[in-house]
Amino acid sequence: MKTATTVLAIVLLGAVGAGSYWLGSRSQAHAPGADTAATAAASAPKARKLLYYRNPMGLADTSPTPKKDQMGMDYIAVYEGEDEDASPAAAGAPSQLRISTEKVQKLGVRTEPAAMRLLGKTVRAAGRVEPDERRIYTVTSKFEGYIERLHVNATGQSVARGQSLFEAYSPELVSAQREYAIAMQGVAAMKDADADAQGGMKQLAESALTRLRNWDLSPEQVQALTASGQARRSISFPSPVTGLVTEKKVQQGMRFMPGEMLYQITDLSSVWVIADLSEQDIALVRAGARARVTTTAYPNEVFDGRITFVYPTMTAETRSIPVRVELANPGRKLKPAMFAQVEVSVGGKVPVLTVPDSAVIDTGTRRLVLVQVQEGRFEPRDVELGARGQDFVEVVKGVRDGEQVVVAANFLIDAESNLKAAIGGMGAAPSAPAAAIAPAPATVGHKAEGRVDSIDLQAGTVSLNHGPVATLKWPAMTMEFKAANAALLAGLKPGQAVDFEFVERQAGEYVVTAIKAVPGTATPAVKPPPAPAAAPGTHSGH
């Protein structure tokens, strides 16, 4: 019995071992397949959520369903979480634009911070040198006479104050001198007469003397006449001021009449500059402001002056207002009728928040700036502008101190990101992905193939012999493009086949935003069809 029990236990143990071996073998046989299935399940792509379809040419148009554009190109699908370079909708808000870091560098985008500055400005105006009207003297006579001798006989001659200009003979003057001499003799002869007789004679002498003085005889000439008691045949006319003879009307022996101009003498030790100030700058300039004057004759010399008068009338033909600048004229370097350039420094005394004027995009109805919110993310903002300065403009509202604003390649961001569409959606929450970008005309990029004709690194231009451009309906032609930045031209060589993208920055000006050499290809140069000569300033084929 004991032996039978032992045998039964051995049999059971053997059965259990055999079963365990069978199960282990079966598990090992199926393990590789199970691992493969798990790996496949883990590596299977997750289903992405489709947001919308965008225009393949970057136009401000989206669609919730697949479609084609006017040229038969399929719209491009945009999925959730996809880094769409130039879609306001993908940027997370209809008012923000996202552009990849690579494209930002390629476009040459540059930013500067909005900062508090003293808003200074230099107002410039063209002017002309004129004599000081208060320093112009006219030599005339108050009696009729004849020129007996000229001492100053040429226009432009320098004269000193008191220098004799000419000597004149006048019968009236000789008669008046004799009357005075006789009256003085009568006064001397009647010194023993009664008081009434002496008083009458003295009154006669005083009347004759007053007449001579009214004829502008100098005190020295009157004193000489009184001392000698003899009438002189001719009288000398002195210069009233030190200056230049700017007009001379007399000739030797000529007769002159009372009030007739004989000489004009101008003192040029101080002159005026009459500058024509633009209408837009007149509010910035005040009398008393200091001015810097330069001339073509003395380009390296600056004359300091001061604005003394702003004329109350405007010149209708030039829409300018004259201002008067007074300045000293050492050595008489400044000649009347010279052209001059006037600079007046104006500006506020209190710092204000400013941005570079290149940062402002003026649409005609709105003024905007692009603010860099994050790396590669930009937000267009309406701004209210104040005073303008030299290269900077005051921002009253819309930007905070320290925020980075785009100052270069604004128009390229416009082209790349459909800025107009983003602006159109500002302040409006889209009800659907398609509503994030409202249809609106926008600047778009164009693609073409061609061959490099020539490169001008200094001017930043490249001449391309390109094929047809379907988006513009252009035929094949050779034309010159401007590079968005100098880095795009690095490594290019004439004769090289290239693929390139470009935008129209303004009417007739086309800018290359991307260009790539085609390796290992020999694209034949595209020859433009014969066309009439283009007008100056246009590219061939247009």
Q: Where are the domains of the chain?
A: 1-44, 50-79, 97-119+351-433, 445-517
Report the C-alpha gap between 125 and 322 in whole angstroms. Answer: 10
User: Tokens 């193939």, residue?
Assistant: 449
pLDDT tens string 12-62: 444 444 444 444 544 444 444 444 444 444 455 567 778 778 776 555 567
Q: Is 372 helix (H, G, I), strand (E, B) or coil?
A: strand
**Assigned token pair, 228:** 């000698």
Amino acid at 154: A
Q: Judge: domain 97-119+351-433, CATH 2.40.420.20.
A: yes
Pick the closest to residue 479 from 431, 534, 518 (CA basis). Answer: 534
pLDDT of 31 reads 45
pLDDT of 295 reads 93
Identical topology for domains 97-119+351-433 and 445-517: no
Residue 349, C-beta contacts closer than 8 angstroms, at least 6 positions apart? 118
pLDDT of 210 reads 81
Residue 234, C-beta contacts closer than 8 angstroms, at least 6 positions apart? 148, 149, 167, 168, 169
Pick the closest to residue 134 from 52, 206, 241, 62 (CA basis). Answer: 241
Pick the closest to residue 207 from 183, 223, 188 (CA basis). Answer: 183
> How many residues in total does the chain contain?
542
pLDDT of 161 reads 92
Contact 264, 245 (CB under 8 A): yes
Residue 59, C-beta contacts closer than 8 angstroms, at least 6 positions apart? 69, 418, 442, 444
pLDDT of 220 reads 77
Task: Work out the widest C-alpha separation in the chain, in whole angstroms.
Answer: 203
pLDDT tens string 377-420: 888 888 988 887 778 888 998 899 989 998 887 556 655 554 54
Report the C-alpha gap between 517 and 496 in whole angstroms. Answer: 7
pLDDT of 415 reads 53
Residues of the chain with pLDDT under 50: 1-23, 25-42, 83-94, 418, 420-443, 522-542
Report the C-alpha gap between 466 and 297 in whole angstroms. Answer: 50
Amino acid at 163: Q
Pick the closest to residue 243 from 225, 264, 222, 228 (CA basis). Answer: 264
Residue 534, C-beta contacts closer than 8 angstroms, at least 6 positions apart? 540, 541, 542
The pair phi, psi for residue 267, each rounded to 5°, is -90, 110
Report the C-alpha gap between 117 and 120 in whole angstroms. Answer: 9
Report the C-alpha gap between 61 and 49 in whole angstroms. Answer: 20
CATH number assigned to the domain covering 445-517: 2.40.50.320
